[in-house]
Chain A
């Protein structure tokens, strides 16, 4: 195609030519990834000593929800926790004393996601209402007075988080997209298209490693995104069913995922491939939530069989099982200083383990 006097490239692009190039690239990528799979993780880890017995016990039980607990998040002050439930309530707890400091009733049930802002002055939540609503926290007036709907998807919101400041919020949705919103104006700053199914979870890269995040979905894929450009920079497959949870490894170089296929997996970003699978024949129930301990040596995973399994990330074996919940473990999160882990369950309670 020429345009007046301008010299324009003539790439002989046809659907067939592009299709052939795509196939060729896919084969090349697969070969590259295979070539680099030189040594299994467990071989490198074999030289490490086995860990001593862990001393993790249930320390607190947070009772108050009248429905399944679906999501929770820690405040950066390491003691407050926000949780949301199927009963439409969001509760803010002082985890040390187990006191409930705020209770907010949402005009919707199944509040599937909640998050604390970095300064601790606001919380965000949403779910079946397709929206993310922000609540500035205050002891002087009813918290629902100043609430603000920030963004709307065309399907349920499954996850949300504040990327590094109180001014923006990142959401994932059943409409298969993620979106970045400006809290003040409610404007969508960026949208992320690429999943072929509901987005179920997202996690931010540790701030040292830049503006990226990972999302996991019902299309069994985990995708790494550049927040500024909206582009998908890497993708990982391997799971055999919906991915319910994703988490960055503390160094930012790898991600852990948990799935309905009853496995957790570790994918390394620089090797661009799966490097570990955490599985046992006896484990047949889906994983809803994962998190790492501070060093990354421990991988905590909450399952539909009511337990939390603690895995040795390097040696790929299970270290211990945390019992206590009386129904599915739907969410779990390490506290900001790494001293404890909170779990939330369909048994209406949250528990703190340390």
Chain B
């Protein structure tokens, strides 16, 4: 059994796409998957800037873990438009224990590769990453 905590490499594509989201705003969200056989974190899906929060929740499988980055736009109390970059560790209760362990132990190292995450969220079911949770964490 490989040591999951320190063995997971991060594919260059992940960092590139994240930089694009941060600087050029070319993606609404990115979903990352850990490919166990190649021992890498790779980009699974990219979201267009026009896609919404609902498209984002639809791209997260209900029984498997994923990492995701979401660019959340909102209005502050003074009606100023602002955005926050959320990192979501999606770990549903119904996923396999092995999958949850691998994602949990590799999360820290992966997050360090993505420079510029403003809020981190861990969700174990759809209610924990509901829109109201995003809004309350955005301030």
A, B from the same assembly? no
Residues of A near any B CB (own CB < 8 A): none
